[in-house]
Amino acid sequence: MNYRHAYHAGNPADVIKHAVLAYVIAHLVQKPAPLRVIDSHAGAGLYDLTSDAAERTGEWVEGIGRLWGRDLPAELEAFLGPWLDQVAGVNPDGRLRFYPGSPEIARGMLRDVDGLTLCELHPEDGEGLADLYRRDRRVKVIQRDGWLAPKAFLPPKERRGLILIDPPFEQKGDYDRLVEALAEGHRRWASGIFLLWYPVKDPAEVKRFHRAIAGLAIPKSLTVEAIWRPVDGTRLSGAGLVTVNAPYTLAPAIRAASRSLWDVLGVPAGRLLLSGDAS
């Protein structure tokens, strides 16, 4: 499948991915020591929901479109709040037009002492990122294959932070590459926080991926998987994040928010599954 960010910005998969990302960064910045966020497949950084790509799929309507401007239950606000604050930050007039990708979410939450490394191989997106952040000394944009990020950038000099590995799944074997990237990255930076995104489409392939991740036997691992339609192997039905060393409060926050989230999104049969050892 091809999951280039521009066509899917703000959809239900982004809700989960970016809510977890923002939640983790909000936890990290509570301590004064500098940190670094590394984004292996950064995309364009900021998306116009009126663009041809966004309007062609209209997926954002079922994600951020159903959450924007709503009064949310306290348990849902506690989980989504850091992410929704970043969406509001790129829409200062209160109208939902722009959606922040993971680079913009991270940049908006980091402090002056922190750093952000963005990898993007696609020429147009890479050049756009470099132009978007050319005046921000905290941001380093590198136009290279993001699969090389664990070997090239871990551990970061700050020794604190996270790496998001969020490939577009354009090539066969990306599930295997995710497993290899986590194994390599954790070997280099056992104390780092890892977030690995994956789509849920083919149930057999996802099960095989889960087994391979479990086989790494990496402690403090938690898999968060959102399913919003039956998994039939023909279309994107859900998405997940494998997390390592995430804050211990993440799992309880997700459990508390789960039912309210699906109610607001209008998906009564939606499921938010947690597995692994987050202790």
What secondary structure letter does DSSP report for 190? T
The span from the CA of 22 to the CA of 105, in Å, is: 7
Strand partners, 251: none
Q: Hey, what are 6's tokens?
A: 């521009």
Helix axes 12-28 and 102-109, enclosed angle (nearest 10): 20
Yes or no: say if 275 and 241 are a contact pair by the CB < 8 Å rule.
no
Nearest to 104 by CA among 94, 116, 95: 116
β-strand pairing of 238-244 with 193-200:
antiparallel
Nearest to 226 by CA among 237, 238, 242: 238
> CA torsion sign, 80 to 7 to 133 to 158?
positive
Nearest to 237 by CA among 247, 225, 248, 246: 225
Contacts of 104 (CB under 8 A, 6+ apart): 45, 46, 86, 90
The span from the CA of 91 to the CA of 30, in Å, is: 25
The span from the CA of 23 to the CA of 82, in Å, is: 6
Say whether 166 is catalytic: yes
Q: Which of 166, 174, 176, 232 is catalytic?
A: 166
Yes or no: say if 102 and 116 are a contact pair by the CB < 8 Å rule.
no
Contacts of 270 (CB under 8 A, 6+ apart): 226, 227, 228, 261, 262
Active-site amino acid positions: 166
